[in-house]
Amino acid sequence: MGCHGEDGSGSDAFPRLNGQNPPYVVNQLMNFKTGGRTNDNKGLMQAVAKRMNEQEINAVAEYVTTLKEAE
Ligand code: HEM
């Protein structure tokens, strides 16, 4: 929420996550975690993903897919 927004809608600096399909989210988080993806501004996302274990990554991937755009 701190970066991607309460409803996961993102902003001009942070991508939208709400409704994203879980396998894509898991793959991106694993890529950030392992250094396979390093295009994030100031390594912000790599720092977050490195602190997460696989169970947490799977949990938030399932969660963000349930988020809806705030009315
Ligand atoms: C558990 C919490 C988080 C999850 C699940 C998450 C998930 C993601 C995902 C899946 C992407 C890739 C989006 C795409 O390829 O469409 C992403 C990108 C990004 N996230 Fe997060 N994020 C989290 C927390 C944060 C936080 C706290 C920050 C800021 C400190 C952040 C900053 C970014 C940035 C800057 C990108 C864009 C990287 C780019 O330029 O492509 N995220 N995040």
Q: Is the CB–ligand 1 distance for residue 18 below 6 Å?
A: no
Query: Would you place residue 70 in the very low, low, confident or very high pLDDT band (cuts 50, 70, 90)?
Result: confident
- As a residue count, the chain comes to 71
Residue with tokens 């996550």: 17
pTM of structure: 0.89
CA of 66 to the centre of ligand 1 (A): 17
Closest ligand 1 atom to the C-alpha of 57? 5
pLDDT of residue 66: 94
- Residue range 10-56, pLDDT digits in tens: 999 899 999 999 999 999 999 999 999 999 989 999 999 999 999 99
Closest ligand 1 atom to the C-alpha of 24? 10
Question: Is residue 71's pLDDT more than 90?
Answer: no
Q: Is the CB–ligand 1 distance for residue 30 below 6 Å?
A: no
3-state secondary structure 9-56: CCCCCCCCCCCCCHHHHHHHHHHHHHCCCCCCHHHHHHHHHHCCCHHH
